[in-house]
Amino acid sequence: MKRILLVTGGQRSGKSTYAEKIVLEMAAGSSVHGDGRAVYMATSRIWDEEFAHRVKLHQERRGPQWINIEEPKYLSRHDVAGRVVLIDCVTLWSTNFFFDLSTEVQDESVKATMNAGEAQESANLVERTLQQIKEEFDRFTSQDAIFVFVTNEIGLCGVPENKVQRQFTDLLGWLNQYIASRADEVVFMVSGVPMKIK
């Protein structure tokens, strides 16, 4: 049963709509649990009351055919064996790791003097974050399930204007490559049209 699909593209390219559709189709055809329900794993953090309300509305819109899980970082904590799982999205998931580790690195650098090592710290931040996410991805996808990951191709949007944006663009680009290398299928969305590229 185990399978990994990656759906990627630009903003408002139709990634989530397409992913939701194929996940529900696969879940309806799955006989493991017999209930036809899919897992919707949302990776965004709930920052405030307004955002919590948005999340609730999204869950209600999705309806009873979904098992909704809010998990900003540690997807592997959840047993999804035998299920079809939509992870929406890799961009927000990696943001959570990046900014948590970024805060730790900043705290460490306050103790040190600012010098040429700052560039090395910057590289280490991206490498350390990427390593943490890869390890969590591998733990999560070791389960016998069908995984559909949604991500963004933010590197298509031009040159980032500051250091943090450049670091995150690099991180997400490398993470997308890692997931694509392990995926059985990769779909690139353009203007709502799915293009199978792997």
The answer to which of 24-28, 36-40, 101-105 has the lowest mean pLDDT is 101-105
Going from the C-alpha of 139 to that of each of 21, 80, 132, 136, the distances in angstroms are 26, 12, 11, 5
Question: Stretch 20-40: mean pLDDT, rounded?
Answer: 86
Find the domain containing 62 and state its range. 3-196
Contacts of 195 (CB under 8 A, 6+ apart): 187, 188, 189
The answer, as to whether pTM is greater than 0.85, is yes
Among 5, 6, 4, 8, smallest CA distance to 188 is for 8
Among 162, 165, 175, 89, smallest CA distance to 128 is for 175
Query: How many C-beta atoms surround the C-beta of residue 47 within 10 A?
Result: 8
Tokens 């890799």 label which residue? 90
When pLDDT is cut at 50, 70 and 90, the band that residue 149 belongs to is very high
Question: Stretch 94-111: mean pLDDT, rounded?
Answer: 72
pLDDT at 87 over 50: yes
Three-state DSSP at 185 gives: strand
Report, in angstroms and rounded to the nearest whole number, the Rg of the chain calculated over CA atoms. 18
The answer to which of 13-22, 29-38, 142-151 has the lowest mean pLDDT is 29-38
Q: Determine the residue type at 97.
A: F
How many domains in the chain? 1
Three-state DSSP at 169 gives: helix
Active site residue 33: no
pLDDT at 17 over 60: yes
- Domain CATH code at residue 43: 3.40.50.300
